[in-house]
Structure 1
């Protein structure tokens, strides 16, 4: 849905931009934060919420492996991956 919204605004996703990923639940946020920091993400959150931040392209080819990684982290740390967001960037 995010990529469809970007396309509707003329954004192909190839330009790197600030991107956020959201995790919720009662799983292991501390371990998620540690693994994410090692992978180059900034982390923030409290209690049952973690937000990961990075700058990246969000076109399908760039984003697919990151999306798979987010889903695997959610499963590994027993958290709910609630999706992602980014700004619209047009050239």
Structure 2
């Protein structure tokens, strides 16, 4: 859905941009934060919410491995992966 919105605004997703990933639930946020920091993400949040931040391209080919990683982290730490967002960047 995010990618479709980007395309509707003329954004192919290939330009790296600030991107946020959201996790919620009663799982292990501390371990998620540790693993994400080691992978180069900035982490924030409190209690039952974690936000991961990075700067990456979001075109389908570049983003697919990141999306898979987010889903695997959610499963590993028993959290709900609630999606991602980024700014529109047009060239």
Q: TM-score range by the shorter chain?
A: over 0.9
Could you tell me the TM-score, scaled by structure 1's length?
1.00
> Structure 1 stretches of 5 or more lacking a match?
none
Could you tell me the TM-score, scaled by structure 2's length?
1.00
Map 1:1-91; keep pairs closer than 5 Å: 1-91=1-91
2: distance between equivalents of 1:4 and 1:39? 27
Q: How many residue pairs are counted as aligned between the two chains?
A: 91
1: distance between equivalents of 2:72 and 2:16? 23
Moved over 2 A (4+): none
2: distance between equivalents of 1:14 and 1:63? 10
